[in-house]
């Protein structure tokens, strides 16, 4: 009996091996469970536009419910309205958490909305392209973090729907289609395009994010606390936007792509609802297949051994009036965005200025965006030899702000044409970074300009991230442009 049992067992195992060898791997895929189309009365269906209209009416009819947060909401009570919309987000990669982003159509959408729900994960039931029916009874619509949002009202804001209410609120349709991204350029970003699945053409990450000795990851940097914020820029205009990735995303530690190309993403806003953010479901939504980057032109003669002994232009700002805009001596002090200009500044203590210095910052400005330029007068590089540039910079916790040393050889000197002129970079100069002690002054090094020709202007450009309560300050002093024969 034992022999018979062992023989039978061997035959059974052999049969299983033979059968398994004849089956393709993908034959083991679990088939998608059939979904019964919900019995929905078409007269009960409503749109995202109609939901937004209810909020607009509430805003027109009364004061905000919460004066500190300027919250105005509309709560559905006994209306029987059911929202019909399509899923465009996925939490499979960890870049979205306890939220579903919906838009009104699979293709050429006109409006989107965020649904907050205390459930994780969501992608296993609410796949991208799936039509959903949202029972609006008892739900609240409002603006949360700058975008149109659905959820439960907790007395001061729109909050998440309880996981116990999931099946009462959300019904899946049997309809699932392909979401076609809406083509958008960076200079077309607007509030009415938030919560939409968009496609950005011909973009790249800023060279400071991906090139050099310390290329950045999506969100695994030392300063990435909740989200990694990177600069995504257009190759067809001067526009840029913040690309945001959660530090909990499973691709957080991947290196950013160095090429340029297209990107499918969802347009959102930052935590404060002030600045546009680009968010991807997965890195596969980034198709950067063009190796030829669109970085600005450069004057890169390296560093000179010695500083020129004859002066073309210099300023130590000691003649400026403290806490007033920098003026005179040929400077152009231009505000591209916001209200903050470069100003004269003096301070002692740990964060001492060098007497009077030039300073710019968006901290506590209240501005949604800060872009400020300080531009030298024209410097003719053809009438002498061996030109050099030196200066010093310092910061006060520069945080999310960014700054560059630029030059232009085609700017005509008028403020109206600053942003349309061609601006290149001077990469040999050393600028202060957030890793430097806030009280230190960093020497630029002796920047060699001898390989350049023509007449140029040199600019210090400051860009705040838009978080005016967080951005730091940049200071500059002791600039000198010299030459030697």
Does residue 455 sit in the same domain as residue 339?
yes
Does residue 347 sit in the same domain as residue 463?
yes
**pTM for this structure?**
0.73
Which of the residue ranges 40-49, 108-117, 231-240 would you say has the lowest mean pLDDT? Answer: 231-240
Contacts 24+ apart (CB under 8 A), 409-412: 409/454, 409/455, 409/456, 411/375, 411/457
Which residue range forms the structural domain that includes residue 92? 43-176
- Determine the pLDDT at residue 15: 44
Task: Determine whether 137 is exposed, middle or buried from the number of CB atoms within 10 Å of its CB (0-12, 13-18, 19+).
Answer: middle
| pLDDT of 63 strictly over 60 | no
| Residue whose tokens read 């290149």 | 424
DSSP string across 30-50: PPPPP-PPP---GGGEE-HHH
| Residue whose tokens read 């659905």 | 150
Rounded to whole angstroms, the Cα distance separating 45 from 41 reads 7
Does residue 376 sit in the same domain as residue 477?
yes
> How many domains does the chain fold into?
3
| pLDDT of 324 strictly over 80 | yes
Burial pattern 312-342, b for ≥16 Cβ within 10 A else e, equals bbebebeebeeeebbeeeebbbbbbebebbb
Q: What is the mean pLDDT of residues 170-187?
A: 96
CATH code at 99?
2.40.50
Does residue 99 sit in the same domain as residue 223?
no
| Residue pLDDT, tens place only, 327-337 | 999 999 999 98
Contact residues for 459 (Cβ-Cβ < 8 A; gap 6+): 373, 374, 375, 376, 405, 406, 407, 408, 423
Q: Is residue 38 part of a domain?
A: no
Q: Is residue 247 part of a domain?
A: yes
Does residue 199 sit in the same domain as residue 286?
yes
Does residue 164 sit in the same domain as residue 210?
no
Q: What is the mean pLDDT of residues 128-149?
A: 96
Does residue 330 sit in the same domain as residue 460?
yes
Q: Is residue 3 part of a domain?
A: no
Phi, psi of 315 (to 5 degrees): -160, 130
Q: What percent of the chain has pLDDT over 70?
A: 89
Q: Is residue 152 part of a domain?
A: yes
Q: What is the mean pLDDT of residues 25-53?
A: 78
| pLDDT of 392 strictly over 50 | yes
Q: What is the mean pLDDT of residues 277-291?
A: 97
Alpha carbons within 13 A on the beta-carbon side of 100: 30
């Amino acid at each position: 009996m034992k022999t018979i049992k062992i023989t039978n067992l061997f035959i059974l195992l052999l049969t299983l091996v033979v059968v398994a060898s004849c089956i393709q791997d993908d034959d083991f895929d679990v088939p998608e469970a059939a979904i019964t189309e919900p019995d929905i009365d078409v007269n009960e269906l409503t749109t995202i536009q109609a939901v937004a209209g209810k909020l607009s009416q509430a805003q027109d009819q009364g004061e905000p419910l919460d004066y500190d947060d300027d919250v105005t909401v509309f709560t559905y009570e006994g209306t029987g309205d059911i929202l019909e919309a399509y899923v465009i987000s996925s939490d499979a990669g960890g870049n979205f958490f306890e939220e579903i982003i919906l838009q009104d159509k699979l293709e050429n959408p006109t409006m989107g909305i965020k649904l907050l729900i205390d459930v994780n994960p969501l992608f296993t039931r609410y796949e991208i392209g799936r039509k959903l029916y949202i029972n609006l009874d008892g739900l609240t619509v409002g603006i949360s973090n700058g975008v149109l949002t659905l959820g439960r009202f907790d007395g001061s804001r729109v909050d998440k729907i309880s996981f116990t209410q999931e099946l009462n609120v959300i019904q899946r349709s049997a309809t699932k289609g392909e979401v076609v991204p809406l083509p958008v350029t960076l200079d077309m970003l607007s509030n009415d395009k938030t919560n939409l699945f968009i496609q950005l053409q011909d973009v790249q990450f800023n060279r400071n994010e991906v090139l050099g000795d310390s290329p950045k990851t999506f969100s695994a940097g030392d300063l990435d606390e909740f989200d990694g914020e990177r600069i995504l820029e257009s190759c067809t205009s001067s526009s840029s936007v913040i690309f945001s990735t959660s530090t909990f995303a499973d691709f957080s530690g991947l290196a950013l792509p160095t090429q340029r190309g297209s990107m499918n993403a969802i347009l959102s806003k930052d935590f404060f609802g002030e600045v546009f953010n680009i968010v991807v479901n997965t890195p596969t939504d980034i198709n950067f297949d063009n190796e030829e980057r669109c970085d600005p032109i450069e004057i890169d003669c390296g560093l000179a051994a010695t500083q020129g002994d004859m002066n073309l232009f210099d300023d130590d700002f000691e003649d400026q009036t403290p806490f007033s805009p920098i003026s005179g001596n040929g400077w152009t002090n231009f505000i591209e965005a916001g209200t903050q200009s470069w100003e004269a500044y003096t301070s002692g203590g740990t964060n001492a200025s060098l007497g009077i210095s030039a300073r710019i910052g968006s901290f506590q400005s209240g501005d949604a965006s800060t872009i400020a330029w300080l531009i030298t007068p024209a410097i003719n590089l053809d009438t002498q030899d061996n030109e050099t540039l030196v200066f010093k910079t310092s910061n006060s916790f520069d945080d999310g702000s960014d700054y560059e040393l630029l030059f232009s050889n085609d700017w005509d000197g008028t403020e109206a044409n600053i942003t349309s002129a061609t601006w290149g970079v001077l990469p040999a100069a050393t600028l202060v970074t957030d890793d430097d002690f806030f009280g230190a002054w960093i020497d630029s090094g002796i920047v060699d300009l001898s390989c350049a020709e023509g007449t140029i202007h040199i600019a210090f450009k400051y860009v705040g991230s838009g978080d005016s309560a967080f951005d730091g300050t940049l200071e500059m002093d002791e600039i000198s442009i010299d030459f030697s024969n």
